[in-house]
Amino acid sequence: MIMTNSQKPIGLYLHIPFCKGKCPYCDFYSVAPQKGVTDSYVAALCKKIDEENRVYDTVYFGGGTPSLLGADNVALILSHIRRTPDCEVTLECNPSDTGGINSVFDFEKAAKGGVNRISLGLQSADNSERKSLGRRGGCDDVKRAIARAKAAGIENVSLDLMLGIPNQTKESLLNSVEFCKNSGATHVSAYILKIEEGTFFHKKRESLALPDDDETSELYLAAVNALEEAGFIQYEISNFAKSGFESRHNLKYWHCEEYLGIGAAAHSFADGKRFYYERNIDGFINGKPPVDDGEGGDEEEYIMLALRLSEGLIFKNFENRYGKKVPDCILKKADFLQKHNLVAVDGKRIALTKQGFLLSNAVICELLANYG
């Protein structure tokens, strides 16, 4: 449902909490799909979208494994969404479900429904590493999924890449980057593995053959340099894109712009408020309202998110948004951190360096210490 409207468009995130199996590192909310439950969940999503009656300029199907819904359900959901003509519509896909030899996912139907960007879980181009991460299928599935998407007219393809995983070497990581380069992908999200509580990896963390902090830092910097050499420009701590293919939806998060999240475990920042749905499918299907999570978009939050971007905290944007200059306490700390090559400062912005990105949490905390 593509249309224009005087209402300012925002982003829409749809959480699809269905997975055939739980990866050992994953802490996102997901359950095994069941026919009746899946249909009821899709109906609840459509109902809530209709009730909101907003206009969106980005739509992101995240999960879970959104491609498990099938192209018919994806197209059905999109038919309820009022979108701008240039709306970016991203669908996360599992390569084994969309690129497997016997896969029946219909990319043409998804594209006709409005999907114009896909995100595929590569994680690694080394099949033994993929197996250790609990990924189904191999790299050939990734290649087929990309080919099928492009044949359907979906040219914008993002690949997920993981760093610091068990038994990973610099050589295997660079081979994965080379795979991304040759795959036809336009975007790469390269995340350092974080062992989250409640995951299988957390339970067996003492026995995992993980690189230490120094080795992980070397892997990160190697990935950054190799991706940029391959034409993927870093625009956020973990995200790289060919020119013009940055994720418009994710940029909303980092620019502290408003978006609506619908579905179990989905979070929102809309109308100046943050709120979220509980991690409960039945609750969402039965119409349980989201939980209030307080105000959003304050100065501190804006600065924190802006510093995740390669462009950094742009002074003019801060001044336009809050009606005042960036406080001197931030500028003084930035001058100190610049001497240690952790940030770059000029008359227009503060931006973290590649070394600063490695220590981003500590650097940002230092900049914001005692703020306000």
pLDDT at 243 over 50: yes
Residue 269, in any domain of the structure: no
Residue 49 pLDDT greater than 60, yes or no: yes
Shared domain for 209 and 128, answered yes or no, is yes
State the angle between helix axes of 360-368 and 299-306 in degrees (0 to 180), rounded to the nearest 10: 150
18 inside domain: yes
CB 122 within 8 A of CB 91: no
| Predicted structure pTM score | 0.94
Least confident piece of the model among 39-53, 79-93, 117-131, 307-321: 117-131
Contact 58, 257 (CB under 8 A): no
Whether 194 and 318 share a structural domain: no
> Packing angle between helix 315-322 and helix 299-306, nearest 10 degrees?
160
**Two tokens at 100?**
């497997």
User: Cβ-count burial of 109 within 10 angstroms (0-12 exposed, 13-18 middle, 19+ buried)?
Assistant: middle
Distance CA 326, CA 343 (A): 16
Asked whether the beta carbons of 273 and 294 are under 8 A apart, the reply is yes
Determine the residue type at 257. E
DSSP bridge pairs for 260 = 12
For residue 36, give the CATH number of its domain. Answer: 3.20.20.70
Query: pLDDT, tens digit, for every residue of 65-114?
Result: 999 999 999 999 999 999 999 999 999 999 988 988 888 899 999 999 99
In a domain, 103, yes or no: yes
**pLDDT tens track for 316-367:** 999 999 999 999 999 999 999 999 999 999 989 999 999 999 999 999 999 9
Q: What distance in Å separates the CA atoms of residue 168 and residue 242, rounded to the nearest whole number?
A: 25
Percent of the chain with pLDDT over 90: 78
What span, in angstroms and rounded, lies between the C-alpha atoms of 145 and 154? 11
229 and 356, same domain (yes or no) = no
Q: Is residue 95 one of the residues assigned to a domain?
A: yes
For residues 67 and 151, state if they share a domain.
Answer: yes
Domain boundary among 253, 278, 297: 253
Q: Which two tokens stand for residue 182?
A: 């040759």
| Residues pairing with 271 in the sheet | none
What's the confidence (pLDDT) of residue 5?
46
Whether 106 and 150 have beta carbons less than 8 Å apart is answered as no
- The yes-or-no verdict on residue 6 having pLDDT over 60 is no
Residues 214 and 329 in one domain: no
Q: What is the mean pLDDT of residues 112-118?
A: 98
Is 206 inside any structural domain? yes
Distance CA 221, CA 241 (A): 16
Can you tell me the distance from the alpha carbon of 283 to that of 16, in angstroms, rounded to the nearest whole number?
14
Looking at 222, 253, 284, the residue that finishes a domain is 253
Q: Is residue 291 part of a domain?
A: no
Question: The domain containing residue 94 runs over which residues?
Answer: 10-253
Q: How many domains does the chain have?
A: 2
What is the rounded average pLDDT for all residues in the chain?
Answer: 93
**Which of 253, 278, 301 is where one domain is finished?**
253
**How far is residue 299's CA from residue 330's CA, in Å, rounded to a whole number?**
12
Hey, what amino acid is at 357? F
**Residue 145 shares a structural domain with residue 226:** yes
- pLDDT at residue 292, rounded to an integer: 95
Mark whether 233 and 358 lie in a shared domain. Answer: no
